[in-house]
Chains A and B, each alone.
Chain A
Amino acid sequence: MPPLPRPRTPDTPVISLRDAALSYGDRTVWRGVELDVRPGEFLAVLGPNGAGKTSFVRALLGQQPLSAGTLTVLGRPAREASRHIGYVPQQAALSAQAMLRARDLVRFGIDGHHFGPRLRTAAVHRRVDEILAAVGASAYADVPLGLLSGGERQRVRIGQALATDPRILLCDEPLLSLDLHHQRAVTELVDARRRSHDTAVVFVTHEINPVLDLVDRVLYLARGGHRIGTPQEVLTSESLSRLYGTRVDVVRVHGRVVVVGVPDEPLAPAPPHHAPVRDGVRL
């Protein structure tokens, strides 16, 4: 994709949270969040299950109102800006989707929300082909979705999210259940888009290592609190110990970050049939 000229005001944030809080009844998921995400920035949203990562995604999409504070996306309330957010959802079981092809999913990204019969088909067709080529999915454009592998499907998903030329790319656990090779392919796609189009990336993940080199800043959510900063600032023993209120060790080995000692979240469902896993480290 050819690089586009940078926006005139590169420093205007695309996402802006001021004293933002979200709670369900008595339970505060997070509060006091002050955050500006700028064009081209790569923000990783980290935290254990139940810390409010999904609520954060829903708030950005305008599906979950804040309980306090403000959230603006491109200077507007989130609900009005959803057109400018390319959303890559968590992988779900896709059996029903076996009825449609990869190219149809991308096409939904362009005009799936319109009522009434389809017009201007030729132009949309061309655009779908361009997108599929850009994410390297042309080879399986006509394969039913149900027959695609996880990695292939995720490429198509990213194509779908980019179909509207979004200013923000919002990915919710896009690497889940992908092998290393496909993890790398997916993160490279996301990063390429960010560099070529100055698209801001909000990347929700429970595992930072696959994207550690790309991340500009981290929003770490846990226990109703949060930390914002560069990975070097946030992912330290001191910072996370304070966030969790107990001793947590952050170790850097071979360029990877390993967090040890994160207490089990009472709200998090335990992974079935496994020994307790604490942030990627089996104990």
Chain B
Amino acid sequence: MTTLADGIWQQMFNFDHYGELLALVRNSLVVGAALGLVGGLAGVFVMMRDLPFAVHGISELSFAGASAALLLGTNIVAGSITGSLLASAAIGVLGTRARDRNSVIGIIMPFGLGLGVLFLALYKGRAANKFGLLTGQIVAVDTPQTTWLLATSAVVLAALAVMWRPLTFASTDPDVAAARGVPVRALSLAFMLVLGLAVALSVQIVGALLVLSLVVTPAAAAARVTASPVLLPLLSVVFAVASIEGGILLALGSSIPISPYVTTISFLLYVVCRLAGRRRSRRWGVRATGAQPA
């Protein structure tokens, strides 16, 4: 019994030869930081615009794109980005209203997943590559991939920096924003594309099934403890970076994929924030007669 438990423990946490391993994943740590930044910031708008389901839908098509690239032997990041952008454009164009959007996503998602399964079934290479696309990987981040991931992150960050303010306005207060001349529809589509890129990046590290833990959970956690437009994205980024870097460092010596570590850290951060946020609601909750705290 004890040996079994020790064995599992050894699989989950093993810090032998840690220094040497650390050197191997330096690229992953750099990419992880960029990804935390992108996921944490995009997540703020995913929460404001109520898009968690869209994130999930996009990630399944991103997975299909990546597995197609794997099968064809082309660049996996590029394949992943192509799938993501196709999905986010479809959701952005067809799903203007929330109800339409959810059904569009519900239709796109299984189709993407099915395509991905098909491509992986046809692929005759290493099984670890297949599994990695769904549940995450770290060592697979090599130098050309790093360049792709960092460049895409830069594009996402630049786009967010430019449209941050009107996008916040349009996301929280669309009627008044439209009245003040903010291009609400165009921004909505633009954000879907940016989100597509952010999701494609996250798929590379945590895998298609667990993207939400990077793009939604950190922002949702931050929203429990602050409503400041400065502190909210900042905390969200801190949580996302902590989850992903913590996950990489813990997964390093183990024989388990990185994703359970990332998802557990981000979930625990959320639980802590949720408990801390209860104090805030108590302080201000008395005034909320009709309004429900989100």
Contacts and interface: CB of A to CB of B under 8 A. Distances in A.
Interface of A: 61, 63, 82-83, 85, 87, 89-90, 92, 94-101, 104-105, 108-109, 111-118, 140, 142-150, 152-153, 160-161, 177
17 contacts: A82-B180, A89-B176, A98-B223, A99-B44, A99-B48, A99-B232, A104-B227, A108-B173, A109-B180, A111-B165, A112-B173, A112-B182, A117-B161, A142-B227, A143-B287, A146-B293, A148-B288
Contact of B289 (A96, A99, A112, A150): A150
A96 B172 contact: yes
A83 B181 contact: yes
Contacts of A115: 162-163, 165-166
A76 B294 CA distance: 41
A112 B169 contact: yes
Given A100-B229, A113-B166, A147-B285, 6 more contacts: A87-B176, A89-B176, A98-B291, A113-B180, A147-B281, A149-B291
B100 interface: no
A63 B44 CA distance: 29
A85 B179 contact: yes
Given A100-B227, A144-B293, A147-B284, A87 B179 contact: yes
B102 interface: no
Given A87-B176, A87-B179, A99-B48, A108 B169 contact: yes
B172 A82 contact: no
Interface of B: 44, 47-50, 161-166, 168-169, 171-173, 175-182, 223, 227-229, 232, 281, 284-285, 287-294
B294 A101 contact: no
B15 to A, nearest CB: 39
Most buried by A among B181, B223, B227: B227
Contacts of B292: 95, 146
Nearest to B172: A97
A108 B172 CA distance: 10
B227 A140 contact: no
Contacts of B165: 111-116, 118
A22 to B, nearest CB: 18
Contacts of B227: 98-101, 104, 142-145
Contacts of B168: 100, 108, 112
Contacts of A149: 287-291
A187 B171 CA distance: 28
Given A87-B179, A149-B290, A96 B171 contact: yes
B176 A108 contact: yes
Contacts of B173: 97, 105, 108, 112
B237 to A, nearest CB: 15
Given A101-B227, A105-B173, A140 B181 contact: no
